Amino acid sequence: MTDAEWEPFKPDIERLYCHEKNTLHEVMEYMKSKYAFEKSKGQYQRQLKKWGLRKSLQSSTINWPFIGRRIEKRKIHQQKDSEVHINGVQIPPSKLKRAKYRESFTTSEVAFSGAPSPNTPEGIIVCTPAAPGMDLAWNPSLPWLRFAKLLRPGIEPDQPSPSSSLTVPSPKELRTSSQIDNQKLMQRLVSTVSWNKLSQPPNIYSSSRTATALTIIMPEEFAGQHLILSSDLSDSKQKDSDRIALELFLLSNNLVSHKSNARLPMTKRKDDQRIIETFNTSGWNNVQHLQILISSHEPTAAAIVEKLFASTLRSLDLKTLKNMLEARIDPNAAVETIYGRMLTPLQFASTVSSEKSLEVSQLLLTHGANVSLSYNGLSALDLAIEYDQENVIHFLLAHGAIVTPSCLCSAAVSRINDQLLAELIDACPNINELTRLQDPSALAQAVKGGRVIMTCFLLENGAEVNQLSSVDFEYGRNVTTVLGLAAWDENQEFVQLLLGACEYVNPDFVGIDYVSPLTLAVEAGNPEVAEILLQAGVSVRIADENSSRTLIERATKKMNLALCQLLVNHGAQVDWPISDTMQTCSALLVAIEKKAFDIVDVLINAGARLNDEYTRPPGTVLGAAIELGDRLLVNKLLSAGARVLNGQIRSFGNLGMAVYLQEFMVFQSILQTSGQQILAAALSSRDKDLAQYLLVHDADLKGGLSNPRGSISEKTPLQAATKTHSLDFVETLLNRGAIVTDEDLAAELSVRSGCLQNLLRRFRGSAPTAVGTAIYTKQSLEILRDTGVDPTGVPQMFHSRWDLDNDFDLEFPASVLDIAAVFGYEDLKPLLQWVHWDKRLTGRALTIAIFMRHHEIADELLQYGADEQQEISVEYRSYNYDDDDGNLERRRWETFSPLQVAVKYQLGSIAQKLVQFVDVNHLGEGARRRTPLQHAVENGDMDLINLLLQHGARVDGPPARDGGATALQIAAIQGYIGIARRLIDLGASVNEPPATLNGRTALQGAAEHGRIDMLQMLLDEGALVVGDGEQEYERAVQLGKRNGHHAAVRLLQSFRKSVQLSTSETT
């Protein structure tokens, strides 16, 4: 049974079962008789569990003795106050005081005499209440405080009267909100603050946590209001009017959840439903009240209305939409879709796959929507075409919508019918015009979309075949012609169609290196398309000159014999022209490596050079043939004139090749330069005969390794033998004097072939890679320590990635301590006592341990005397970060000191230790850096904010150059008005300039995110909007408009006008 079937009955079930204390059987009978809702007892039990509904316990059944002991113990031993929750519901402090639990214990000495604490009874949670630690005074001119007076008239007679134009009656006092409604609201209020670690468990409904959140995000109408509101919510005494007021405040300041699922479309749809239900409950959903709200000069009212309008549109609530339009809301104001896209209402209606789409469009146009308004470069017609809304397309055309080239581009990738396509093309005045320089032409889109008929229509109307268009080619964005796009798609029909309309097949784009259609055809591996282009006269010379590889090399990589022969026949160059610069490879080298022997013959016969040297191994074509172990091929190359070898040969392919080379008297010279590498390759491939032959000829005593002691990326013969469990070869190599390296030990520890003791007997020196491998594989370090292995040095085990199962990666380890910190190595003390560690290394490990939340390791490193200032850099993967230039980063680095990372992840106990020893104002170099206070403000963590302030944190600490922000700027962006008020009271400047790159002033951050009350407070505190603040003001308006916060923009504009008027009157 789905949740949707249960949801309509949830309020009744909750009331009957939880509040009126009916038995489950009685609830079932009532629901059956009243609603014919009949379910089994098991189904009810499962659904109650899913909802988290439990009966509140009677006082007589609560284990007061346990609660009393726990509260007293926390008070005596931890000096902490306590908050008690039973079955997720908080016990009011007044009830705790009245409870006679104190009768249950004798003295503190008896109660806490050392006996272990009893297990906590099920459903009981005793935790520390949250405390904001702020005493704030609020200016009654704040928009919310003015608006709130209308919701509760008469509370504060001494407050200034609201605008006379807004005389909205209070919302209806319908009922006391249900427990579920209140709990959901509490969760929502708390989630507006980005706490990720709390002093109390999640999924409980804490009045103190709620009060703290309210203090951070919302101004109070009177002292103690937040405590009263949160207590009423917890006790289910909250009236609908109070709940609606809180909902409206969140709405007016655009305060949304920081939960990971808050931005999901499904969550946004639920939010829209709640917003509309809230408005319906308020009694304001009628034209009269909406007119008052819309026409008022109250920013809060305007912000609420714009959010309601967006929710109404997204929900396709025609009744409310009609009311709002009749009340004269702006029908062209952009709104955000559930997918985060900003669209005008008419654009949005054009995207909706619903029968209501036309009705919404008609309503909007009837009330003044601009049918051809372009927003973000698109019109409503563009989007109707993009979403295949043929009825809407006809409707918009009938109402005068203008057909632009971008409309044709949208049509090319749509599924609209050919007749409508022809109508759109005929209506477009210039089919070759580009909306933006980088945009594709309509013809390019038609070719990409495979639209033959549309392509014909466009060509008949004069579409330009040689117009440049972007193409994804060779790991980047390049440009080609529309003909090139057809070749890249291997579409012969399109290629021939375009060639028929193309006057110049070899256009000259002065100063632009474009990718030739021939290059794209070859890279696609299509000889048919390539032949069509060649016969039409497309130049092989131009294709080669504008490319990083020759055409024949591309064809060879595809192992396409027909294409290679075709290109040779048309005079394509077989090799790059001779130059002083050594090439990486050639077509012939590629053909040999791929064993494409037919192509090898074609290239040799075409005159391919045989004695070129290349930068990458094996360095020559003869060397490549030797590595294959193909004697026939070697003979062929020798017969054709190949003679050159160099020192890059890595293997012999097989024993027969080694014997063959011995006969030609080049065997020893090759071994002299590459012997160890060739032997390691033979051992890795388990070719024992070849390995034995090489040992007979002393290959292990020759050269061949760039590092004689080996490395993680270059195997020694000993390492290869170890990894293949070839113990007889291990013994042989050791007896022949092989040097045992750190990497050899690491290889043995990773495969455990059984020769570790033998290797250790012949090892001396530092082996951080081996020690790191032992830590990573959770093996004992005792044998390494007892044999005198030195763990210091830089381990090489992570040459590419740490391979962490997370969305981040770390820098390469600086010592084995880093590895222990990353993987939470439990036996850290012996490792620390092994040698004397540099404090910088233990400090780096400390920062990593804090970052990885390995608290015990961090504590141990602190006790060991680690340097508390060492920084680490972390690379975050799959992190979509859109900078001010519109660039989307998929990866980004951030750097942290120990205190910065402790505060960022809200690790209060570690932060308390660190603040005693470190500079609490440290920022450091790097993008998006934060001081500890800035991190704490970003998280809304008042405990850490107060801790840092007590230890000298500066409220005006500077921002990082790129992506940085001051504490006040962060508070403004987050909407934490309580924290912002505290920072301003402590001297933070409201006009602090933004970070040089990707920064915001406090005013800009508030406008960008729609924080109405924050904006007013900043303006009241002297934020500049004229003179020196002119540029910052313009940027704030731009950001507000871009994100659809029109009420915020109007507030800024209105305030600026008043400042300008005041200035002109005084001059």
Which one, of 502, 534, 504, lies nearest residue 518 by Cα?
A: 534
- Tokens 């005389």 belong to which residue? 167
Residue 166 has a pLDDT of: 43
DSSP letters of 661-684? HHHTT-HHHHHHHHHHHHHHHHHH
Residue 128 has a pLDDT of: 63
**Would you call 714 exposed, middle or buried from its count of C-beta atoms within 10 A (0-12, 13-18, 19+)?**
middle
The alpha carbon dihedral of 784, 785, 787, 791 has a sign of positive
Adjacent-strand bridge partners of 873: 895
Residue 169 has a pLDDT of: 46
Sequence-ordered alpha helix ranges (H) in 118-237: 143-151, 179-191, 207-217, 225-234
Q: Which positions ≥6 away from 907 have C-beta within 8 Å?
A: 197, 850, 853, 855
Is the bond leading into 618 cis (omega within 30 degrees of zero)? Answer: yes
Q: In degrees rounded to 5, what are phi and psi of residue 716?
A: -85, 160
In angstroms, the Cα distances linking 164 to 147, 159, 296, 392, 594 are: 12, 14, 9, 43, 84
- Tokens 């305060």 belong to which residue? 255
Supply the pTM of this predicted model. Answer: 0.82
Sheet holding 124-127, edge to edge: 89-90, 83-86, 124-127
The domain ranges of the chain are: 3-51, 59-127, 157-276
* The token pair that represents 970 in the structure block: 């962060």
Interatomic CA distance for residues 898 and 924, integer angstroms: 12
DSSP letters of 959-993? PPTBT---HHHHHHHHT-HHHHHHHHHTT--TTPP
Q: In degrees rounded to 5, what are phi and psi of residue 930?
A: -135, 145
Which one, of 526, 528, 517, 509, lies nearest residue 486 by Cα?
A: 517
Residue 481 has a pLDDT of: 93
Interatomic CA distance for residues 482 and 1023, integer angstroms: 53
Which one, of 451, 446, 399, lies nearest residue 391 by Cα?
A: 399
**Would you call 666 exposed, middle or buried from its count of C-beta atoms within 10 A (0-12, 13-18, 19+)?**
middle
In angstroms, the Cα distances linking 41 to 9, 31, 45, 960 are: 16, 12, 6, 60
* The token pair that represents 686 in the structure block: 């388990």
Q: Which positions ≥6 away from 801 have C-beta within 8 Å?
A: 809
Residue 755 has a pLDDT of: 93
Residue 131 has a pLDDT of: 63
In angstroms, the Cα distances linking 178 to 19, 174, 183, 237 are: 9, 12, 9, 9
Residue 837 has a pLDDT of: 96
Residues of the chain with pLDDT under 50: 100-113, 155-174, 198-200, 202, 709-710
Quickly count: other Cβ atoms within 10 Å of residue 751's Cβ.
13
